[in-house]
Copies of this chain bind each other. A is one copy, B any other.
Amino acid sequence: MILADLEEARDKIRFGRSRKSMVMTEQQKLVTAYHEAGHAIITLLEEKADPLHKVTIIPRGMALGATMSLPERDRLGMSLGEIEARLRVCFGGRIAEELIFKDITSGAQNDIEQATNLARLMVTKWGMSEAVGPVSYVEGEEHLFLGREVTRHVNHSEETAQAIDREVRRFIDEAYKDAVKHLTDNMDGLHAVSKALMRYETLSGEECQAVLDGADIDTLRPEPPAPTAEESAPAAANRPATDKPLPEGGTPAEGFAY
């Protein structure tokens, strides 16, 4: 099917080759399933988050799983509300691990980095912190473009640096707290989505919503589809051949993976 092939091609470019033959212990798969379920559920619960496209625990490149949203407004600027929703989604994975396994892993590194980058932009570029004000601050940055180095050095005082750090921390801590509440309020859903991921490995946004709404996981799909050529490895046996094709007009290449 053409759309599934396109989606595969896109995912390969963004995340690397699918690593279906990678040996993961059941425990690792379970941790990953809860991690991705955490991201997915908060994505569904947050009105201002971009719509959930799909969630998967098939390893690809360096990632053990992924939760993808369809972007709608990404290029056109984001509102404070949308950014805060995204911060909460970022922390869904880590929090799910913490709630279920009472242990956390280094696997949230990218989520934390993404959330921090957003929070720093809110404070230093987008004037979204009242304490710091609508002032633009240059932070230590660097680009390499055509072999030329562009270095910008911090030009503000230590006092300002502290105010920025505190506000970044405040945005992060609030998002974290809100995300904890989302998941503790939806523990049944978290277990259900995780269970569905362990069974099907990949869920579309609609399937994920259905599971969260209480759908019977066993009857979520009428019958397991025949595997595609690349998916013919035994490990892929219970995986649906057709990931949900992209809705018209959407450009999944701008999605959001955790």
Contacts and interface: CB of A to CB of B under 8 A. Distances in A.
Interface stretch (A3-11, A123-131, A211-219): A123-131
A64 B91 contact: no
A144 interface: yes
Contact of A125 (B91, B109, B115, B172): B109
B116 A135 contact: yes
Interface of A: 23-25, 28, 64, 72-73, 76-81, 83, 91, 94, 101, 103-109, 112-113, 115-117, 119-121, 125-128, 133-140, 142, 144, 147-162, 164-165, 168-169, 172-173, 176, 249
A135 B165 CA distance: 10
Contacts of A151: 142, 149, 151, 153
A94 B138 CA distance: 20
B77 A103 contact: no
A164 B31 CA distance: 28
Nearest to A91: B134
B106 A78 contact: yes
Contact of A152 (B94, B127, B140): B140
A130 B37 CA distance: 24
Total copies of this chain within the assembly? 6
Contact of A126 (B106, B156, B159, B168): B106
A144 to B, nearest CB: 6
Nearest to A175: B134
A101 B73 CA distance: 17
Nearest to A138: B140
Given A104-B128, A152-B142, A134 B115 contact: yes
A106 B133 contact: no
A140 B137 CA distance: 12
Residue from A78, A104, A149 with most neighbouring chain B CB atoms (10 Å): A104
Contacts of A23: 249
5 contacts: A28-B73, A116-B137, A120-B155, A133-B176, A157-B161
Contacts of A119: 135
Contacts of A150: 142, 144
A158 B83 CA distance: 27
Given A77-B106, A133-B172, A133-B176, 9 more contacts: A94-B127, A112-B125, A112-B134, A133-B169, A135-B168, A142-B153, A149-B149, A153-B154, A159-B161
